[in-house]
Structure 1
Amino acid sequence: MPASEAPEDRDPQVPEIGALPASSTGLASGQPLRSVAFRRFLAGQSISLAGSAMSPVALAFGVLEVTNSTAWLSAVTTAALVPMVAMLLLGGGIADRYRRDTVLCLTSLGAGLTQVGVAFLLLAHQHPAFLLPLAALNGIFQGLTKPALRGIVSNLAVGRGIQQASSLLASVRNATRILGPTVAGLLTASVGGGWAIAADAASFLLAAAFFARMSLPELPRRTEGGTTMLAELREGWGYFSSTPWIWTVTSAFGVFNALNMGVWQILGPVIANATIGAEGWGLVLSARGVGALLASVVMVKLTVRRPMVPALSSMTMAAVPLILLGAGANTFWLAAAAFVAGVVSEFFTVVWETVNNTHVPERLLSRVGAQDEFWSFVPIPIGQLSTPILAAVFGTATIAVTGGGVAAVAMLVPLLVPSLRRIEIK
């Protein structure tokens, strides 16, 4: 609940466990796979993520193949990112107001159709300028999807089942990241990145079919003259802004994401193109996936009572690959650092999702999650657009190493908040 509504005898800085969902759709606590709805959601996500894991490598090297321009790569990725970030807050309101399975079905269908267009343009070797409107449409659909994904686990799990469900989903996501980038690198090197994007498009469309069959319970009928969407969005902002343990972490990740995405996503393929190649870069990304998979599997069983201190402290290791990238490390050392980064990043992700799903009221989850993602994603376009400029002025290596150091420090700042250090998972 919002801090302003907390009982007078309770510290308003300490988070309160949110109300459990009215219906768990037949899911027994701690046994997520017994739920038909969860299995269908897991299947849909597995298929979608398998395609999406190939997309970044395919798109990056597909654009570089046509233009050999860092600026165009930055423009295409930013064209998708800006609309996605812009739609997050509206997406949070929609996901808390309507059935989340319906939202996921419609947005997956839209994303699949836009990726069909992107695949066609890459296969036809058209100029990247034609990709910009399709990238923007895809970003809109992704912005509407993310808040629904942040809130749907609470509709499918209760109690300790929340962390187990989150860990299972993370395991699948990371399993696809192991093979996806490598397959994309091989496809790009042999027949071009368009075919990997085509597979991503097919995965979105098939996932939409699974989401359509989840059949979550209908939401209570809204009465005439009830709460408006704008009022609900203000309520979500009120909870977010009055809860220091949320917004401090969000702010830290705003800094981290801008540096990480700018260096890793923009400078990374450029450096790799001149050193370890598309195949080597795919192996580095796959190594990160292996580490993340290991962490997510362990987290199915492991519960840390007060997890935020180790989760944030370990995230400093996620900045090491940026430093090694700038230092000109070879494939082996980059892959090793990426593996460790995958472990610590997934540990934090599962912890953060579990903490939010158990300490934020269910009816606010998508809106609060949208605020979290919006403010942590807003700096990313700044990082992506400024990185090539800064690299041209100060040098690629200097920007990569400095960015990694600043990103590591940012992860430690939220630990100054007492309420964050006291958060527990019971």
Structure 2
Amino acid sequence: MRTAKIFKRDFTMVVIGQIISLFGNAILRFALPLYLLRETNSSSLFGAVTASSFIPMVVFSFLGGVIADRINKRNIMVALDFLTAGIISIFYISLGQLPLVPLMIVVLMLLYGISGAYQPSVQASIPLLVEYEVLAKGNATINMVSTLSNLLGPVIGGVLFGYFGLTPILFLSIICFVISAVMEIFIHIPHQKRKAETGIFVTVRNDLKDSFRFVKKEKPIFLSVVGILALFNLVLSAVMIVGIPVMVVQVLGMSDTDLGIAQGALGLGGLVGGMLAGMVAEKLSVKHNYIFLLICSIAAFIMGIALMTFVPKAMGFWIITAMSFMTMCVSTMFSVSIFTVVQQRTPIHLLGKIMATIIAISSCSQPIGQALYGVLFEKLYAMPWTVMVGAAIVAFCISMFSKGIFYRLEKED
């Protein structure tokens, strides 16, 4: 029997382009919020700004899904990478000339909006570039690329930020996005042009209607899965995004380099999780996905314990770093499993929109959680462990509730 090959020319070039682009993105995601936190020393403001930056990502995910099904996905990637390089250039010129907080909000909103529009094109291109038999391994590879960037980005960003400040990080990110865009020009992704007979807004509305109609009639179980993802993002993903910088920098008083190590552990965990998912892709059972969520909940609980006063700060830091690794490892395996199931059960002409809809709706709750946790960490500064422990307990309950939903998802195959 012929063995399906993953790393053909175009998929390999997509992977390399993702490595370069996401590396620049990871450094920015590390450096810009940290710069804001250092300059303002306010966890509530930090939470509010990061929350507001996620809103355009949700909105533009829908638009990105529609565009991904109508425009050549390669062209979308190229245009958005060049656009990102331009935005960072403008930010560098404006830094010090405009008020920091409004400038940071605008830039982060633009960057996350671009990310929201970008990812549906990447996800929708995978089934077009790899064969069905190795689709799960293709998804695992893209996840590994993302997490490898998340591993190296914070570590390198922490060192650069600690020694040289923000400027070299901005220049390095601009170079990464330009190189990625130029490389992506030479990628060929199969595309069947679809003629839009109405205006852009009507087209978006009609395409999204088609997506929701498909989910409602053909795959209603997808709605339950999206609901679980939204709840988990609200409770646990949000507390990780806001909590790790606050815990490491403000509560434990560690350095920027230490924060880079902690967030680099997230990337390393994702890399290991992606490797494991690729190795055991055929053996991942959808009905057991709730176990991944349970492990994330337990890891968050242990992070909370690490913040208690009887735990030395240095030990607390390494416990948080280890649990960050564990959380990202299992959550990556969870993501590979879910994305593969959705891709296998969705028609190609709806794939971009369905993937974008799932990502966008499940992420809607995350900004609310980030803003809430920013306030909670500031109000409960004397007892930060209560925030993490409380979030872990709620997330544990959600994980147990999801068991029946994932069982039904596998049964519907």
Same fold (TM over 0.5): yes
Other-structure match for 2:238: 262
Letter in structure 2 aligned against 1:396: P
2: distance between equivalents of 1:123 and 1:169? 37
Output one character per residue of 1:229-254: Cα deviation in whole Å (capped at 9) or x when no partner: 42221011122334233222211111
> Match for 1:349 among 332, 335, 339?
335
Q: Which stretch shows the higher mean deviation, 118-127 or 276-285?
A: 118-127
Q: Which stretch shows the higher mean deviation, 401-410 or 372-381?
A: 401-410
Task: Give yes or no for the alignment of 1:88 onto 2:61.
Answer: yes
The Cα shift of 1:153 comes to: 0.4
Letter in structure 1 aligned against 2:263: L
Other-structure match for 2:279: 301
Q: Which stretch shows the higher mean deviation, 55-64 or 305-314?
A: 305-314
2: distance between equivalents of 1:312 and 1:37? 34
Other-structure match for 1:387: 373
1: distance between equivalents of 2:246 and 2:111? 24
1: distance between equivalents of 2:89 and 2:37? 20
1: distance between equivalents of 2:148 and 2:352? 26
The Cα shift of 1:147 comes to: 1.6
Other-structure match for 2:409: 420
The Cα shift of 1:289 comes to: 2.1
SS at match of 1:32: coil
Task: Give yes or no for the alignment of 1:314 onto 2:300.
Answer: no
Output one character per residue of 1:20-49: Cα deviation in whole Å (capped at 9) or x when no partner: xxxxxxxx9731212x21121111101011
- Quickly say closer, same or farther: Cα 1:378–1:231, change in 2 above 3 A: same
> Match for 2:4 among 6, 30, 35?
30
Work out whether residues 29 and 157 of structure 1, in 8 Å CA contact, stay in contact via their aligned partners in 2: no
> Match for 1:233 among 208, 212, 215?
208
Work out whether residues 317 and 341 of structure 1, in 8 Å CA contact, stay in contact via their aligned partners in 2: yes
2: distance between equivalents of 1:221 and 1:97? 6
Work out whether residues 43 and 377 of structure 2, in 8 Å CA contact, stay in contact via their aligned partners in 1: no
2: distance between equivalents of 1:119 and 1:326? 37
The Cα shift of 1:374 comes to: 1.4
User: What does 1:49-128 align with in structure 2 at a 5 Å threshold?
Assistant: 49-120=22-93, 127-128=100-101
- Quickly say closer, same or farther: Cα 1:76–1:225, change in 2 above 3 A: closer
2: distance between equivalents of 1:90 and 1:291? 31
2: distance between equivalents of 1:223 and 1:208? 27
Other-structure match for 1:251: 227
Task: Give yes or no for the alignment of 1:283 onto 2:261.
Answer: yes
- Percentage of matched positions with identical amino acids: 21
Output one character per residue of 1:236-280: Cα deviation in whole Å (capped at 9) or x when no partner: 112233423322221111111122343222232122113133222
The Cα shift of 1:62 comes to: 0.7
SS at match of 2:132: coil
Output one character per residue of 1:163-220: Cα deviation in whole Å (capped at 9) or x when no partner: 2222222222222222221111111211113432432232222212222221223414
Task: Give yes or no for the alignment of 1:397 onto 2:385.
Answer: yes
Work out whether residues 257 and 380 of structure 1, in 8 Å CA contact, stay in contact via their aligned partners in 2: yes
Q: CA RMSD in A?
A: 2.5
Output one character per residue of 1:89-108: Cα deviation in whole Å (capped at 9) or x when no partner: 12211111221111111122
2: distance between equivalents of 1:273 and 1:262? 17
Work out whether residues 226 and 358 of structure 2, in 8 Å CA contact, stay in contact via their aligned partners in 1: yes
The Cα shift of 1:312 comes to: 2.5
2: distance between equivalents of 1:124 and 1:321? 42
Work out whether residues 123 and 192 of structure 1, in 8 Å CA contact, stay in contact via their aligned partners in 2: no
The structure whose residues are more often helix, as a share, is 2
- Quickly say closer, same or farther: Cα 1:259–1:115, change in 2 above 3 A: farther
Other-structure match for 1:141: 114
- Quickly say closer, same or farther: Cα 1:88–1:149, change in 2 above 3 A: same
Work out whether residues 66 and 125 of structure 1, in 8 Å CA contact, stay in contact via their aligned partners in 2: no
SS at match of 2:330: helix
- Give the alignment's TM-score, normalised by structure 1: 0.85
Work out whether residues 160 and 168 of structure 2, in 8 Å CA contact, stay in contact via their aligned partners in 1: yes
**Structure 1: tracts of 5 or more residues without a match:** 1-27
2: distance between equivalents of 1:361 and 1:198? 41
Letter in structure 1 aligned against 2:33: A
Letter in structure 1 aligned against 2:262: V
1: distance between equivalents of 2:194 and 2:63? 21
Other-structure match for 1:13: none
> Match for 1:407 among 359, 383, 395?
395
Other-structure match for 1:22: none
SS at match of 1:372: helix
The Cα shift of 1:221 comes to: 5.0
Work out whether residues 96 and 367 of structure 1, in 8 Å CA contact, stay in contact via their aligned partners in 2: yes
Q: Which stretch shows the higher mean deviation, 397-406 or 299-308?
A: 299-308
- Quickly say closer, same or farther: Cα 1:72–1:420, change in 2 above 3 A: same
Aligned residues: 396
